[in-house]
Structure 1
Amino acid sequence: LKHHVDVISEPVLPNCSEPVCTGPLSNIYCSGKLVHAAWAFGLQNTCPGDMMLQSPDAIINALNKLEYPLKRDDFKRFCSQNFAPFPYLKVAKLIDWTEDPPNLRRVKDTKLRSLAKRLNGIWKFLGREFDDKVREKPEIFPVLPVPNPFVVPGGFFQMYFYWDSYWIMKGLLFSNMTVTVRNMIENFATVIRYHGFIPNAGNIQLSRRSQPPLFTQMLADYYQATGNETFLSECLPLVDAELSWWLANRSVVVSTDSSQHYTMFQYRAASNCPRPENYLVDLYNGLKGTGGAEFIWSSIASACESGLDFSSRWFAYSGAHSPVLKFEWGRMSYASGTKSSTKLILYRADSFKLSLDFIPDSKYSIRTNKILPVDLNVFMVWNYDTAADLYHSLGSDSKSQKYRKMADELWSGIEAVLWNEAAGVWFDYDLAKRKHRRKFYPSNVFPLLLGRAKSQKADRVNYYLRYSSGGALDYRGGIPSSLDRECHEQWDFPNGWAPSTHLFVESLRLSSNEDLYEIALQTANKFVRTVYNGLINPSGKRPAACWEKYDIRFDDGRPGVGGEYPVQMGFGWTNGAVLDMILRFNIDDEESFRGFTFMYNHAPYALLVALVCLTFSVWCVFKILRNRRVTMRSVAKGVWLSTESIEASRLIDECDEDN
């Protein structure tokens, strides 16, 4: 199938008013005739290139001199004359990396220790820094260079990314790499000084959208690990700047039925044009979607800002183009659950015809800009509370009181607007329909992270998770990103991700509710086991790897599915989240890690063997109870060797103690 055209009859530009980026490089790298032609000709991976060979004005002048109808070969010649490939980054040595950090020695369970050791070893392969030429001549590159080495997510993602770095730093602190963490915080401070906030990543194409605001938490984690008050005092003004930016640019006033008004937050990217990284698909979604093209394009960018790009969480639950309906257009048909590739022909009068493989999706109904999300509002209360604590530690009581008041007011909004009394949990809120979006997402429980919810609400959340969530706790590999089986987006079922899993676990762990703590422990155990199997004990022909996402229907470590790019290995935030969960639950723990109770799902006859072993274990226990003269330790050893089941050996040990 041909993926490009050979001739463009005339320039075709989307009708949008807020570009993806601003400044002299905007019409080169973010929108306009150049981006459109590159995608239409199938040259988007190489043009515009990494480095400009002319000034921005000279490139635009050369572009405007191209004659239409424009041939593909002529455009390729223009690209080669004005751009060149150049790697922005080079491998960096992380000077504080060690093979055997202190926390590693504190992990008693041998399997957990081997996992932590492997994850710690990955850091040295993910260190990057900007090439000297990028620092010396930043005006010819579409990136914002930062001064210090940093850790990238890995795979396709060879750049600093905002919210990925929060979990990366969690893992680096486990590995006692405080110098690298400080370097990364200083880098983000540089970014805030330049932009006034932290964009999605260092590429100019992502510079008008942010990601979940976690800079305050990065600084707090570093301060807790080092006690460095000098560095804290230097960085707190940048915390002020970022939080002020979110208040000025992402807040919305919400009114309740009781006529109360609350200032709350939503993801709402500034741009309303197609993304240059997926231009043609965005263009098509905007032209066919509901709500107008600019609204669709802005909501797509806002979904990227949320970090969950993409999820049914941002789509219409009903109506035209919702994921549960079937629709047809031209030669294209779509029914829920269908993943067949369809040849799509785009026409625009006499301009051009484009053919490409297209998997129909539900972004036609995306409405991120109409949704008030639980997680973002929780992050902002968390940031306000944390900023209050940090200022208090430096003796600045006036600043501390200011942020505490802001946290109190926003928490009142969360309770009034997002809490659903009937369901006993918090839900996202549809601003247009003025009602809750009552589906399961891990973020439904994130308000527990703040330690502000009353014990009665924690009890309600416990009931919701166990009996009303639709089975969210039932999967062997961890917690699903959603239970939506229709959309096939990467932040939907059956995928589980490290950041949402970690926040889910931390929310329940900090709830002061024993039942929720048990769910947190079980969820952490499941996910850590899944990562262990994928990295150390992979099944089938899959490579041993730490993945960006996992299929949580299984605990054998198989990677997740879906998305706009192939699944990536590395992977920064998975490394960090797992190391932090090991730190929270299993440091200095004399008992074996319960997460490895059952690991027999790889072999072809594993289930049969497991049933035989379980039957044998039950028979042994029965014999023990009937005959106290049975030699307990020999039986226990036999069960352990046959099943590797900690739980079975624990039961037998209890019988031994009874004797």
Structure 2
Amino acid sequence: MPRFLVSLVLVLAVAAQAQTKDITTYIHHTWDTLTRSTTQCNAVSDSKVAEKPIVYLPAGMAIPADLAKMQKQCGVEVEHLPRRITHIAEVMPDELPRTGVLYLPHPYVVPGGRFNEMYGWDSYFIILGLLHDGRDDLARGMAENFFFEIENYGALLNANRTYYLTRSQPPLLAEIIRELMASKNPPDRAWLEHAYTTATKDYALWKSPEHRAGNTGLARYKDFGSGPVPEMADDDNYYRDVIRWMQEHRRAAMEYLVHSDPHPDAAEKSRLRKISCDVDKSSVCARATLAGSRLTKAFFDGDRAMRESGFDTSFRFGPFSGSTQQYAPVCLNSLLYRYEMDMSDFAQTLGKTNEAAEWMHRAERRKSAMQLYLWNARRKRFVDYNFVTHKQSDYHYVTEFYPLWAGWTSPEQAKATMLNLGDYERKGGLAMSLHRSGMQWDEPFGWAPTNYFAIAGMRRYGFNTEANRIAKKFMHTIESNYAREDTIREKYNVEAGTSEVQVTAGYKANVAGFGWTNGVYLRLKSWLAQGDSLKTQDKP
């Protein structure tokens, strides 16, 4: 090779190394930028709701000294929830005089700059990054915040705001516990005992009647509230945009619309409470109307369930995912299978052999049900199942790689799934779906969590070449955009390999920060450094 080419290659290699070092330094410092506490004056405000900040404590809990100090310094109100909560939705958001933040005892990392809450599934990927960077205490504190939520607010919540008291998020607590126990400075046996007991309560939520997917033996997403979500108070357009689309596509959306008088009288309001929402009780409901149409109660149930899934918004479960509550999703049930396997391991470690066997039995039962309902032998792919219509979905979604991550698929099914990789692989990583709905969780957008689960699943089944290729593509997207913008984003247009996103309805921002992208980037970087080696728990 000519000398000038050798020099050029060396220069480019040094530049690439410097860029990687620069981005990891950025991530390392960003953990502090994104750290919040419910005892900080600037961390209790809510950009989504224009009300004076208020912090809610569990019923009967003494006001902690640091919170009392903040109360005096900042003029923040501190109130107690009206009664003790043992199960989700025992206190409903509309019972409280105002929305507010729910107290947590430890600092936590938020997803991005506009957020002040600790989110459910975001925190799993954030914790991956914290452990990589040696921030074990912060990671453990976040896990203990989840324990506090389960013990005092009835569930691991979507986030620690009062309007989230009716729903959870994808169940990843057992994986968080596993990651902490596998870290360089693992917690002791007593901590694991407490974690195991609390995770058992968390798991019970997903076995509740409300979360059962009919008679399939599988689970579904389900919010315990009704009507439009209160956190949309800052967005007058979303539900109107939904109605407008449905009016223009009536054949696909008739079931989601009801006719309504724009100025309802008492009788009309009473009717709307039964078939849509309560216009007197909810300002969001009052505004959710367009040209004589409103959304049905069933649509709002699906809308809420979609938000529990974390995939808000896509067209995966009908237009705007308005039928989410009717599906047993591949992703959720794969997460629960892994949860059951993790809990079996924890029980074994703690000497609870009978409980370990029962957890294993639960996992095997779920695996059998998933093989029956979620595998399409003709199309040779994993699909979601509508237990109301008794039909499998034909909406292909990147979550079909979750079974590989969870380890419940056969080697033959894993090979068949890999033949579908080209449906999602793009210049900058894996896209969410094959459908251009204009929503942020569809084509052409790609996200850190789904790229992570797919890559981890490929590694688990030995498809290391493909896993490394996708990892490099997604990391390059993050790195190249970081070089232009000096920040890391929530999501990317993986078709173009850029952070420029055009979302037509719903959450349209592309927030900087960004917690789960940071954590996944560090985990992928670590995997690439390992080459093709796999940890024992990564093998099927």
Q: How would you bin the TM-score normalised by the shorter chain?
A: 0.7 to 0.9
Q: For residues 282 and 534 of structure 1, what CA distance do their matches in structure 2 show?
A: 29
Please name the residue that 1:572 is paired with: 515
Say if 1:178 and 1:435 are closer, same or farther in 2 by CA, change over 3 A: same
2:490 corresponds to 1:548: yes
TM-score (norm 2): 0.73
TM-score (norm 1): 0.60
Structure 2 residue corresponding to 1:523, chosen from 449, 463, 470? 470
In structure 2, what residue type is equivalent to 1:517? N
Please name the residue that 2:32 is paired with: 124
Q: For residues 588 and 408 of structure 1, what CA distance do their matches in structure 2 show?
A: 32
Q: CA deviation at 1:111?
A: 4.2
Q: How does 1:142-541 map to 2 (within 5 A)?
A: 142-225=100-183, 226-228=185-187, 229-252=189-212, 254=214, 262-278=216-232, 280-281=236-237, 284=240, 285=242, 290-291=255-256, 293-315=296-318, 362-363=319-320, 366-466=322-422, 471-473=423-425, 475-485=426-436, 487-512=437-462, 516-535=463-482, 537-538=483-484
Say if 1:476 and 1:166 are closer, same or farther in 2 by CA, change over 3 A: same
Say if 1:231 and 1:309 are closer, same or farther in 2 by CA, change over 3 A: same
In structure 1, what residue type is equivalent to 2:496? F
Does the 8 Å contact 2:121/2:172 carry over to 1?
yes
In structure 1, what residue type is equivalent to 2:445? N
Q: CA deviation at 1:141?
A: 6.4
Q: For residues 420 and 228 of structure 2, what CA distance do their matches in structure 1 show?
A: 39
Does the 8 Å contact 1:161/1:200 carry over to 2?
yes
Cα deviation code 1:256-302 (max 9, x no counterpart)? xxxxxx41100111122111222555665579762451101111011
Q: For residues 253 and 436 of structure 1, what CA distance do their matches in structure 2 show?
A: 13
Q: CA deviation at 1:560?
A: 6.3
Q: For residues 438 and 501 of structure 2, what CA distance do their matches in structure 1 show?
A: 15
SS at match of 2:36: strand
SS at match of 2:385: strand
Does the 8 Å contact 1:211/1:305 carry over to 2?
yes
Please name the residue that 2:20 is paired with: 112
SS at match of 1:564: coil
Does the 8 Å contact 2:99/2:162 carry over to 1?
no
Does the 8 Å contact 2:431/2:445 carry over to 1?
yes
Say if 1:132 and 1:530 are closer, same or farther in 2 by CA, change over 3 A: closer
Q: CA deviation at 1:496?
A: 0.7
In structure 1, what residue type is equivalent to 2:217? T
Q: CA deviation at 1:463?
A: 2.0
Q: For residues 200 and 452 of structure 1, what CA distance do their matches in structure 2 show?
A: 27
Q: CA deviation at 1:152?
A: 0.7
Cα deviation code 1:160-182 (max 9, x no counterpart)? 11110000000001101110011
Q: CA deviation at 1:128?
A: 1.0
Q: CA deviation at 1:368?
A: 0.8
* Structure 1 consecutive aligned stretches of length 4 or more whose deviation exceeds 6 Å: none
Matched residues, number:
415
SS at match of 1:208: coil
Q: For residues 335 and 418 of structure 2, what CA distance do their matches in structure 1 show?
A: 22
What stretches of structure 2 of length at least 5 have no aligned partner? Answer: 1-15, 42-54, 56-66, 69-77, 81-97, 248-252, 257-274, 276-295, 533-540
- What's the RMSD between the two structures over aligned residues? 2.3
Q: For residues 251 and 152 of structure 1, what CA distance do their matches in structure 2 show?
A: 27
Does the 8 Å contact 1:388/1:401 carry over to 2?
yes
What stretches of structure 1 of length at least 5 have no aligned partner? Answer: 1-107, 256-261, 316-361, 590-659
Q: CA deviation at 1:416?
A: 0.7
Q: For residues 394 and 109 of structure 1, what CA distance do their matches in structure 2 show?
A: 44
Does the 8 Å contact 1:303/1:310 carry over to 2?
yes
Does the 8 Å contact 2:301/2:322 carry over to 1?
no
Cα deviation code 1:204-261 (max 9, x no counterpart)? 1122111101111111100111332221112111101000121014442555xxxxxx
Q: CA deviation at 1:112?
A: 3.2
Q: CA deviation at 1:517?
A: 2.5
Q: CA deviation at 1:558?
A: 4.0
